[in-house]
Amino acid sequence: MSQSALTETANTLAPDGLQGVVADWSSDQRAFKRVPWGKAMIWIFLLSDTFIFTCFLLSYMMVRMSTTVPWPNTSEIFALSFGGEPIPLILIAIMTFILISSSGTMAMAVMFGYRQDRVKSAILMLVTAAFGATFVGMQVFEWTKLIVEEGVRPWGNPFGASQFGSVFFMITGFHGFHVSVGVVFLIITARKVWRGDFDTNRRGYFTSRKGDYGAVEIMGLYWHFVDLVWVFIFAVFYLW
Amino acid sequence: MTSITPAQAELISPAEVEDVELYHPKTWVTKYVFSQDAKVIAIQYSCTAIGIGLVALVLSWLIRLQLGFPDSFDFISPSDYYQFITMHGMIMVIYLLTALFLGGFGNYLIPLMVGARDMVFPYVNMLSYWIYLLAVLVLVASWFVPGGPTGAGWTLYPPQAILSGTPGSDAGIILMLVSLALFIIGFTMGGLNYVTTVLQARTRGMTLMRMPLTIWGIFTATVLALLAFPALFVAAVMMTLDSMLGTSFFMPSIVEMNEYLEYGGGSPILFQHLFWFFGHPEVYIVALPAFGIVSDLLSVHSRRHIFGYRMMVWAIVGIGALSFVVWAHHMYVSGMNPWFGFFFATTTLIIAVPTAIKVYNWTLTLWHGNIRLTLPMLFALAFIVTFLNGGITGLFLGNVVVDVPLSDTMFVVAHFHMVMGVAPILVIFGAIYHWFPLITGRMMNQAMGQFHFWVTFIGAYVIFLPIHYLGFLGVPRRYFEMGDTSFIPESVASLNAFVTVAALIVGFAQLVFMYNLFWSASKGKVAERNPWQATTLEWQTPEMPPAHGNFGETLPVVYRWAYEYGAPGYDEDFVPQNQPPIGASAETGGDGVPDGAAQPAK
Ligand code: HEM
Ligand SMILES: [Cu+2]
């Protein structure tokens, strides 16, 4: 049945106004009309993941309150000096900038995906993945610097409360893990788009299901989420 | 809007999503072992959960032997005792009840009851089971590592959970935390499937307000689990770091054996918040599926529509939402600000309102019903009584001033066993007796079933009513033995011995039930189609037990709610959900006369 005929039948059934809203929500088959399964699923997953990150960040705030030792000054610790003058948080600022730019390329990849412009979509996804990998690389640099040069350990550090190191490694580690997983899946999805799997109805290796360009959008939702979480980590951990 | 007129029947909207192609297994291994069929996954989940549940049952006997006859069993040392209660509690709550209700019943019933061919992402669903199995194996492995499993109590409170005085503090606690994290990852994979299937993959005509309450219960519980488990996950990660890397998230400065430990500055209370932010919703993760299932059992077996369906749905959703704002009622004795206590006591008592509505509605469903005292019905009735009992003691514990003296006594043990131990277990039994014919094609043996019911039902009260009383006397929980304690009267010892004997008898009845399961699966009376004359879709499949893909060629179309009993104008006292209204052309139903509609009454 064509799309217009579909909406017509739906219209004859649906009441107006507030009742219409209720009827839409509780109508048969789908609660969110025109939302494919995968997209619904990733949204619910991200909601659950939001709770994980919220718990991590609230726990950080609570241990920061419970410890009696002063909290180290993040803008000093995360400063890099170029030719003498230390610039506070410069590395983190660059990392943030890179991650936010990657959200832009991701959004474009989604758009070109829906236009079935395979090459552009795949390239933009690979660019996004490259940004992501750069971010993780800079994080590795930051970790190494803190561990090797500054002597920060999960159980203690020379600057103040031992929880500083614990929280830092745990939260940035968990976030970096999300980014890394994203990079891997970006490359996988880019490969599928490049090869034209979604046009030739090639089946997934594990799931033996056909995919569609919705997969690019699902990837995008995950990526923007990881980005957004970083903004919060940046604000409450580095700036505060 | 629950059922429709013939004219409206013609207007059921056409299918919005084309039928997805199912994965068709070609080998025995992909059909029964690495299966992507939700029904097989359900059975795998259930068997694993019941298997590990039996371990917890045996542990409860050992706990009771020690409590009933202290000094008589050399093989139970104080450390063993703590390990027993910890593993008993954790297995019962997480690995048995949560897994069985959501992974077991959820997987089996959701696709069938909403009219779907399978879960939306069968491959992920399969992974969910295997990760769950891995979690169970890691848990079991903790018996075989140096120091044995953790003895920190199922609440795993730090700092003691990871200090050397607690049994299993070297490896046991870490395996426990890893196992929990695995469980959560596995559950999330399944849970996303359950929620998405209910929201986005119902059949034509299956509106949200026509879903059986079983589905509402499982659906809401899954949402709770997806939002509550993250807190436990985070707590598990942080405690693992505390014990392996020596971080101090939860650890204050501590002197042990005259020596300062390396820890300092952490917050044990933080753990309690995280744990109970998970822990209280967990109670409802177990209770809501039970609420849903029992509503359907009561309705089917009393041949009457569920009383106040809409209210029942809103009560489930309301309880689910409220369950996130009551967690600190488990922390009244943690030294919190009295205003917090006041807040949490208030929210706790507010939850009693929707809960009471449900109890009234169950009772009113029975009113003027044509009650058939089948085994599922007996268990459903037993649930109402037991849940009411446990709920009322909950009101006492929810008040700060009453809770403070009762906290950490046997009264608490009695309360939570009634409300989240015995009551949901009774529903599980009822549900198994109810759906066994669907799953295996055979009825369960009646005689063994009756024996099982009466011993379990009466036995539960013989065990737990005296435990309430012990709590009033001030007998503390989690004590290896009381010795000569001045405020504990002599009679406590004989009462404890009595309870132990009762617990062993009830335990024996569970073995009879297990035997019944195996016996009936091969030798039970062959079940006729739709033996309970139920209206819901799972009984209307072309084959029983339902085949791969559930509904044969075409998916059913739903014309009415799940509770059409005794409607005028029909030959039978029930009308299946997929039977078109009288006068409507059956054409909309796809394959003409819906299956099950033409079943002769017995
Ligand atoms: C078969 C019948 C059962 C018996 C006889 C039994 C007995 C006991 C006993 C004696 C304790 C120790 C109390 C203490 O000293 O603290 C206990 C603890 C516990 N039981 Fe059960 N139980 C049974 C079934 C269940 C079920 C079905 C659940 C599921 C919710 C459950 C959950 C718990 C929990 C959460 C604890 C607390 C463990 C802890 O203190 O860490 N039990 N049980
Ligand atoms: Cu609670």
The pLDDT of residue B9 is 62
Instruction: Determine what percent of chain B is predicted with pLDDT higher than 90.
Output: 83
Average pLDDT over residues B314-339: 94
At A84, the amino acid letter reads G
Query: At A153, is the secondary structure helix, strand, or coil?
Result: strand
Task: Specify the pLDDT at position B379.
Answer: 97
- Specify the residue with its C-alpha closest to ligand 1, atom 19: B89
Evaluate: CB of B426 within 6 angstroms of ligand 1. Answer: no
Q: For residue B4, name the pLDDT band (cuts at 50, 70, 90).
A: low
The residues, any chain, with a CB within 8 Å of residue B82's CB and separated by 6 or more, are B151, B152, B153, B166, B167, B478, B480
What is the tally of structural domains in chain A? 2
Above 50 in pLDDT, residue B68? yes
Q: Does the pLDDT value for residue B188 go beyond 90?
A: yes
Residue nearest to ligand 1 atom 28, measured at CA:
B421
Mean pLDDT (whole number) for B108-132? 96
Cβ distance B120 to A33 less than 8 Å, yes or no, reads no
pLDDT for the residue B316: 97
A1 and A72 both lie in a single domain: no
Specify whether the CB–CB gap between B319 and B351 falls below 8 A.
yes
Residue B132: Cβ-neighbour burial (10 angstroms; 0-12, 13-18, 19+): buried
Model confidence at B527: pLDDT above 50:
yes
Closest in B200, B234, B235 to A30, CB measured: B200
Please check whether residues A42 and A93 belong to one and the same domain.
yes
- Check A55 against B121: CB less than 8 A apart: no
Q: Kindly state the tokens that stand for B362.
A: 């169950």
Please state the separation of Cα B149 from the chain's center in Å.
24
**Is the CB of residue B434 below 6 angstroms from any atom belonging to ligand 1?**
no
CA distance B259 to chain A (A): 18
Cα(B357) to centroid of ligand 2, in Å?
19
Position A63 scores a pLDDT of 95
Asked if the model's pLDDT at residue A22 lies above 80, the reply is no
Same domain, A103 and A135: yes
Domain extent for A42: 38-238
Whether residues A186 and A168 fall in one domain: yes
Residues A93 and A164 in one domain: yes
Percent share of chain A, pLDDT over 70: 94
Residue B336 has pLDDT above 90, yes or no: no
Q: Kindly report the average pLDDT of chain B as a whole number.
A: 92
Closest atom of ligand 1 to CA, residue B424: 27
Assign residue A116 the CATH number of its domain: 1.20.120.80
Q: How far is the CA of B206 from the centre of ligand 2 (A)?
A: 34
Note whether A7 and A78 are same-domain residues: no
Residue of B231, B88, B242, B271 whose CA lies nearest to B162: B242
- Token code pair at residue B249: 């998230």
Residues A4, A120 within the same domain: no
The answer to whether the beta carbons of residues B383 and B427 sit under 8 Å apart is: yes
**The ligand 1 atom nearest the CA atom of B420:** 30
Lowest mean pLDDT among B86-90, B94-98, B549-553: B549-553
Same domain, A71 and A165: yes
Q: What is the pLDDT of residue B588?
A: 43
Comparing CA positions, the residue from B533, B542, B535 lying closest to residue B3 is B535
Q: Which amino acid is at B352?
A: A
| pLDDT attached to residue A17 | 78
Contact of A227 with A100, CB cutoff 8 Å: yes
Partner-chain contact A166 B195, CB within 8 Å? no
Contact B142, B150 (CB under 8 A): yes
- Calculate mean pLDDT across residues B165-186: 96
Where does residue A60 rank: exposed (0-12), middle (13-18), buried (19+ CB within 10 A)? buried
Residue ranges per domain, chain B? 27-266, 272-527, 540-602
Q: Residues 86..115 of A with a Cβ closer than 8 Å to B: which?
A: none
A211 interaction partners in chain B (CB closer than 8 Å): none
Residue B88 CB–ligand 1 contact under 6 Å: yes
Reported as a single tens digit per residue, the pLDDT across B189-246 is 999 999 999 999 999 999 999 999 999 999 999 999 999 999 999 999 999 999 999 9
Average pLDDT over residues B566-578: 89
Cβ contacts of B235 on chain A, cutoff 8 Å? 55
Q: How far apart are CA B375 and CA B433, in angstroms?
A: 7
Residues of A with Cβ-Cβ distance to B240 under 8 angstroms: none
Where does the pLDDT of residue B3 fall: very low under 50, low under 70, confident under 90, or very high at 90 and above? low
Q: Which of B469, B438, B462 is nearest to B536 (CA)?
A: B438
- The verdict on A22 and A68 lying in the same domain is no
Residue B417: CA count within 13 A, CB half-sphere:
20
| pLDDT tens figures, B533-545 | 999 999 999 998 9
Query: Which residues neighbour ligand 2 (ion) by CB within 5 Å?
Result: B 280
CATH 3.50.50.60 corresponds to the domain B27-266: no
Tell me, yes or no, whether A19 and A52 share the same domain. no
Ligand approaching nearest to the C-alpha of B424: 1
Instruction: In whole angstroms, give the CA distance from residue B462 to residue B388.
Output: 16
**3-state helix/strand/coil string of B237-287:** HHHHHHHHCCCCCCCCCCEECCEECCCCCCCHHHHHHHHHHHHHHHHHHHH
Q: How confident is the model at residue B587 (pLDDT cuts 50, 70, 90)?
A: very low
The answer to whether A76 touches A88, Cβ cutoff 8 Å, is yes
- B41-58 per-position pLDDT tens digit: 999 999 999 999 999 999
Of B57, B166, B417, the one to substitute when testing ligand 1's pocket (max ligand atoms within 8 A of C-beta) is B417
Handedness of CA B477, B483, B487, B490 (dihedral sign): positive
Same domain for A82 and A7: no
Q: Select the CATH number that applies to the domain covering B272-527 from these four: 3.40.50.10800, 1.20.210.10, 3.90.1300.10, 2.40.160.10.
A: 1.20.210.10
| Nearest partner of B159 among B56, B69, B80, B265, judged by Cα | B265
- Distance, CA of A64 to CA of A69 (rounded, Å): 9
Question: Is B23 in contact with A209 (Cβ distance < 8 A)?
Answer: yes
Of the ligands numbered here, which is closest to the C-alpha atom of B277? 2
3-state secondary structure B306-338: CCCHHHHHHHHHHHHHHHHHCHHHHCHHHCCCH
Q: How far is the CA of B361 from the centre of ligand 2 (A)?
A: 23
Examine the pLDDT at B448 and tell me if it is beyond 60.
Answer: yes
- The per-residue pLDDT for range B271-314, each reduced to its tens digit, is 999 999 999 999 999 999 999 999 999 999 999 999 999 999 99
pLDDT, mean of residues B7-28: 77
Check pLDDT > 90 for residue B602: no
Could you report the per-residue pLDDT of A105-148, keeping only the tens digit for each?
A: 999 999 999 999 999 999 999 999 999 999 999 999 999 999 99
